[in-house]
Copies of this chain bind each other. A is one copy, B any other.
Amino acid sequence: MATMQEIAKLAGVSRGTVDRVLNNREGVNEETKKKVLEIADLVDYQPNKAGIALATQKKNIKIGILLYGEGNPFFEELKTGVSDRYNDLSFYGFTYILKQSKSHVRDQIAALDEMLEEDISGLIISPFNDPRIVERINELSDRGIFVVTVNTDLPDSKRIAYVGSDDYKSGQTAGGLMGLLTKGVGEIGIITGGHNVTGHESRIHGFEEIISKKYPKLQIVSIEECQDDDYKAYGALQRMLLEHPTITAIFFSAGGIYGGCKFLYQMTQKQPYTVITYDMSDVNIDFLNKDIITATIGQDPYRQGSIALSVLIDKLILGKNPEEDRILTEINIKIKESL
């Protein structure tokens, strides 16, 4: 591996000049610049990360991580991913501060504003789908603070990358799984979440596509919205099953799982519903163990956290742009036995 020193020698200049060229600092003649770049290219110069790390430490870089849903195992796992990767990357001498707001847009905005006081140089955020959030992300970007979104994307913002699952595909997966578990026959009810989580509709579209194309004998007979509220979900499911007693399968496209499953659990005449939900929350684990939920679809939150930190540090310290601006994580199916 060639070092700056060696390049300097080959180019007949000092290491300082090489440094200026390779870091795009000004104050170097066009010709010498060209020559240095040529040689750097020739020897395939790769900066030594340990050197960078040692030199960067004093800069005291700080990045912010803004999530919601305290205690939610999805975010707990995401945090583990961040923390594990931080372990590898901490030699760059940066720190991070973590905030978890309440699950509401205005709380996230408040937390975001608080975070800006801390003069961070990068941000990882699981954003709500709200124009005010987009606005703030753009503002940050303009100030030179790089933003990576996780879990939910805001494609119209100036974020440098999104790390999370492909919602349409995860909807298709739910659809395919539903087909298999029901042997392709029966009636389905869907409990949807709220509207400030982007992927929401995509999931349902993916689900509907597979059901309609691949399983003609499977029918979606009712869709109820619950705004990610457990009380509403309880009531919604109750009404739904009363109106459509022929339903044998239920798909929760987002929240309201606890409320819905509680109702199913409390039903006097137990019917073996096929139930598909999202994410590995405590609630999901509990109801998987109680045989209320049949399967749940995970989106690898651990890797979301891990990759997000990695991408942000690459950009922030090494100046390396992510290869894709949408980095998709795997979709996993979990059942009781695979927990």
Contacts and interface: CB of A to CB of B under 8 A. Distances in A.
Contact of A172 (B172, B176, B181, B337): B337
B333 A333 contact: yes
B333 A294 contact: no
A151 to B, nearest CB: 18
Interface string A82-100: 0001001111110000000
A229 to B, nearest CB: 29
A57 B1 CA distance: 11
A176 B338 contact: yes
Interface stretch (A48-56, A113-121, A249-257): A48-56
Contacts of A321: none
A176 B50 contact: no
Interface residues of A, number: 38
A89 B338 CA distance: 31
B333 A49 contact: no
A333 B85 CA distance: 25
A137 interface: no
A334 interface: yes
A85 B91 CA distance: 15
A218 to B, nearest CB: 14
Contacts of A103: none
Contact of A177 (B85, B172, B335): B335
A91 B53 contact: yes
A239 B289 CA distance: 38
A48 B50 CA distance: 11
A337 B91 contact: no
Contacts of A333: 295, 332-335, 338
21 contacts: A48-B54, A49-B90, A50-B50, A50-B53, A50-B57, A50-B92, A50-B93, A88-B89, A170-B338, A172-B337, A173-B335, A176-B336, A177-B337, A177-B338, A181-B181, A295-B333, A330-B332, A331-B338, A332-B334, A333-B333, A333-B338
Interface of A: 48-51, 53-54, 57, 85, 88-93, 169-170, 172-173, 175-177, 180-181, 183, 210, 294-295, 297, 310, 330-338
